[in-house]
Amino acid sequence: MSRTALNLAILAAATAVCMSSVGSATATEGVAGRYIPGAYAGPGAGIVPPTPGVGYWAISNLYYHGEASGDVPFGNNTIALGLEADMWATVFAGVYVPELDLPGNWTYAVQAAIPVGWTRARATVGLAIDTTEEVTGLGDITVVPLLFGWHNDAMNTWFSAQLGITAPTGEWEEGALAFIGLNYWTFSPMVGFTYLVPEHGLDFSAKFGVDINTENPDTDYYSGAVAHLDVSVTKNLTPNFAIGAFAGFLYQIEDDGGAFADSHDGFKGRSIGIGPLISYKAKFGERTEIDFRLKWAHEIEVENRMKGDAVFFDITGKF
């Protein structure tokens, strides 16, 4: 495997799981979900690191600001109007490739991510009462027990398939405008694809997944399943520096369940996010490399969800 492809693998495997733990603005309860358009976009999105016995680490940081002008459900009993929210999350993630003798060019890995975050939300609740709330704490923890990767002999075509499980471990309180966790389980099957053109320094990547949620047991509100697709193209300008562009697409494929959703035609959401990305590989000595990636996603074509901007800053390396 080339050094460039290996660095892409580190970024893809370690960073992708980070963003799966971060709740943000989609349709569903509190217009909050697991996915932001563009969250999984970037070079190597379909690559699983092929070297057994190696671990990778990542620190992912996200800032999101969004606004929703219409009614927003917080369970079935609390309705907010004119919601505006700011969110910061830092996610600590690890990826490990165990030493298994798999046939062909297959790889198996496991991942885990622990987020901590801060949210501030402002809205009009009840009898025209303007309310501002803040919360800081642990987010919803994600594990990926099943992650498989494949590459061809030329190591320019990569494919991945995974199942992520996100547990309701984060800070959440019934009726609160600000929260870190979502108080329900999410199961996220995903597939990824990457095609490399080393002679031109190009990377074409895509990742598709579906977030399948359980019902919130405290509010009896069911947030419908959401499909999402991220695509990107990246160009290496130097061995250490790359630029690119990406797009993320969110489409809710299942109605929400609850009194509010029933009166709002299922309250399905959709959104498109687009933006640029840059990445830089820093070397410290002969063996230590750390990758930095910065992305900005601007949401357009939004329905039944918050509309805003997200900034992602990821740092990844190898144990």
pLDDT in tens, 257-278: 888 888 888 888 899 999 999 9
**Tens-place pLDDT, residues 85-137:** 899 999 999 999 999 989 989 999 999 999 999 999 887 776 556 788 899 99
pLDDT at 127: 57
Per the DSSP assignment, residues forming a β-bridge with 115 are 91
Range of the domain at 19: 3-318
Which residues touch 91 (CB under 8 Å, ≥6 apart)?
18, 19, 21, 22, 58, 59, 60, 61, 62, 113, 114, 115, 116, 139
Helical residues (DSSP H) of the chain, grouped into ranges = 3-19, 259-263
**Tens-place pLDDT, residues 182-206:** 999 999 999 999 999 999 999 999 9
Tokens read off for 127:
């009898």
Do residues 5 and 137 lie in contact, with contact meaning Cβ atoms separated by under 8 Å? no
Total structural domains within the chain: 1
CATH code where residue 275 lies: 2.40.160.40
Task: Give the pLDDT mean for 129-149.
Answer: 91
